[in-house]
Amino acid sequence: MPTTHPFDDDKLREECGVFGIWGAESASAIVALGLHALQHRGQEAAGITSWDGRLFHSHRAMGHVAGNFDKDDIIRRLAGDASIGHVRYSTTGETALRNVQPLFAELASGGFAVAHNGNISNAMRLRGELNRRGSIFQSTSDTEVIIHLVATSTYRTLLDRFIDALKQVEGAYSLVCLTSEGMIACRDPLGIRPLVMGRLGDSYIFASETVALDVVGATYIRSVEPGELIIVSAKGLRSHRPFAPRRPRPCIFEHVYFSRPDSIVDGSSVYSVRKRIGAELARENPVEADFVVPVPDSGVPAAIGYAQESGIPFELGIIRSHYVGRTFIQPGDAVRHLGVKLKHNANSALIAGKKLVLIDDSIVRGTTSLKIVQMLRDAGAREVHMRIASPPTRHSCFYRVDTPERAKLLAAQMNVAEMNDYIKADSLAFVSIDGLYRAMGQGRRDPVGPQFCDACFTGDYPIPLVDADDGKVSVQLSLLAETA
Ligand code: SF4
């Protein structure tokens, strides 16, 4: 099985990125560029669906955006001035072409395409009910539940049927949908997954991150607000708020790791937040050292913040190869063990004989941290003190993030001292949950009504885990997977 992150299985992975544009010439070419900027959010598959005023066109494929959407004939076939796209890792449902989004269905009202970032946490229960009422599912994706709920709703207008569907689902969703009547963008009432709105000339764009607006030369307008539903059509733009207001709880891990540092998430610069987390880490967990060294690339902004706060020089003690990754075939165990050196190599001329503060964004399984500490010691480092720019990751995410099962999370099994013994560092410390909230511009975490979803650190899940509580987490259809 080709993989895109042969040595990154020690990170939480964001599952999806969405992008849509209404009212632009060459809309699908712009979507392809936008998806390219969101590639870090999902690397297993990509898809685009367009509307040319008469017909819908769709192309979905396994693999990266480049390689699938860099061919003129494919973009030409995706005709029209309205288009949506999606990049994904597999989560709910097996990795198969039929699960690649945008999903599309012919409803009584016409075509309906949906691109979804998030996870419907009661999808299995709803799917069972829909199955009993006669719905026939084509994929194992939780997103298909939304299509069937829209299709079977008894409300008259498409908008009302869509709202009726969303009121039945629990979970995290940022959606961009394409219909013959217009493009619909919406965010769940807690705003767990991000979604932003931008403008390119007279066209409106919706995207998971602002970096996708930057890449296509669009202007950032604002975030789609939690619980907001926006329709763009020939009549212009209309905003609806169909849900009872609730205190938003956007995913705090977007700021720790998922989003690109050059993005603005819910009004905050991701780069600035990561630097402030590093500064909090330095204040909470000081250590004497010669250099602050990031695990590249994800640890770099926090390491800059740690260095600036502590006065210890920032140095690139680890150099990352940017040529490891795409469709790299996983080698066997013996060779795989060398993988960390293929991706990261110690800058031995710099670090030999030195005391290092090593900064990374998180520890998930701990296997990479163990190898990197050993690599630095082998290169002659005298001491390696590891500092982590997030609290210990003790719980799984059920809101469309690929988390190893809880038993494989190092922090779910060990306390910090035991984790330090496991990774064989001289010391190990994490930023506190309140330190993380301070870096987000909050005084502290409000224990009664937390300002963010932080469930992977605290276990405080803001949305009921209906399927997980029912013991149902995925389905398997009987047709063997299509692949491409
Ligand atoms: S559980 Fe963690 S990764 Fe998942 S949405 Fe909440 S904060 Fe984000």
* Rounded-to-integer distance, Cα 433 and Cα 410, Å: 18
- The finding on whether 253 has its CB within 6 A of some atom of ligand 1 is yes
Which tens digit of pLDDT belongs to each residue from 137-159? Answer: 988 888 999 999 999 999 999 99
Closest residue by Cα to atom 8, ligand 1, is 251
In the DSSP assignment, the letter for residue 330 is P
- The finding on whether 455 has its CB within 6 A of some atom of ligand 1 is yes
Pocket of ligand 1, candidates 117, 253, 402, 451: which has the most ligand atoms within 8 Å of its Cβ, to mutate?
253
Structure tokens at 16: 């999806």
Ligand 1 atom closest to the Cα of residue 193 is 5
Q: Which helix (H) or strand (E) holds 163?
A: helix 158-168
Determine the pLDDT at residue 479: 52
* Residue 464 CA, ligand 1 centroid: distance in Å: 13
Minimum mean pLDDT range among 11-15, 302-306, 416-420, 422-426? 11-15
- Residue 401 pLDDT > 90, yes or no? no
- The finding on whether 431 has its CB within 6 A of some atom of ligand 1 is no
Closest residue by Cα to atom 2, ligand 1, is 456
Closest residue by Cα to atom 5, ligand 1, is 251
Angle at 199 between CA 195 and CA 203, to 5 degrees: 110
Which tens digit of pLDDT belongs to each residue from 6-44? Answer: 345 567 766 799 999 999 999 999 999 999 999 999 988
* Rounded-to-integer distance, Cα 265 and Cα 210, Å: 8
* Residue 455 CA, ligand 1 centroid: distance in Å: 6
Residue 411 neighbours by CB distance under 10 Å = 24
* Rounded-to-integer distance, Cα 212 and Cα 205, Å: 10
Question: What is this structure's pTM?
Answer: 0.91
- The finding on whether 397 has its CB within 6 A of some atom of ligand 1 is yes
Pocket of ligand 1, candidates 251, 258, 266, 398: which has the most ligand atoms within 8 Å of its Cβ, to mutate?
251
In the DSSP assignment, the letter for residue 314 is B
The answer to whether the CB of 145 falls within 8 A of the CB of 130 is: yes
Determine the pLDDT at residue 143: 92
Please say whether the dihedral angle defined by the alpha carbons of residues 191, 195, 201 and 203, taken in this order, is positive or negative.
negative
Which tens digit of pLDDT belongs to each residue from 360-371? Answer: 999 999 999 999
Structure tokens at 104: 């599309």
Question: What is the percent of the chain with per-residue pLDDT over 90, rounded to a whole number?
Answer: 75
- The finding on whether 252 has its CB within 6 A of some atom of ligand 1 is yes
Ligand 1 atom closest to the Cα of residue 172 is 5
Structure tokens at 418: 């035991």
Catalytic (active site) residue 177: no
The answer to whether the CB of 231 falls within 8 A of the CB of 159 is: yes
Q: How many helices (H) and strands (E) does the chain have?
A: 18, 25
Concatenate the DSSP letters of all residues of 461-475 into one string: -SS--HHHHTT----
For residues 221-230, average pLDDT: 97
For residues 312-340, average pLDDT: 68
Contacts of 12 (CB under 8 A, 6+ apart): 253, 257, 258, 362, 364, 393, 397, 401, 402, 403, 456
- The finding on whether 359 has its CB within 6 A of some atom of ligand 1 is no
pLDDT band at 279 (very low <50, low <70, confident <90, very high): very high
Ligand 1 atom closest to the Cα of residue 249 is 6
Closest residue by Cα to atom 7, ligand 1, is 454
**CA gyration radius, the chain:** 23
Ligand 1 atom closest to the Cα of residue 396 is 1
Determine the pLDDT at residue 194: 96
**First-residue to last-residue Cα distance in the chain:** 13
pLDDT band at 96 (very low <50, low <70, confident <90, very high): confident
Catalytic residue from among 16, 177, 186, 456: 16
- The finding on whether 192 has its CB within 6 A of some atom of ligand 1 is yes
Residue 169 neighbours by CB distance under 10 Å = 20
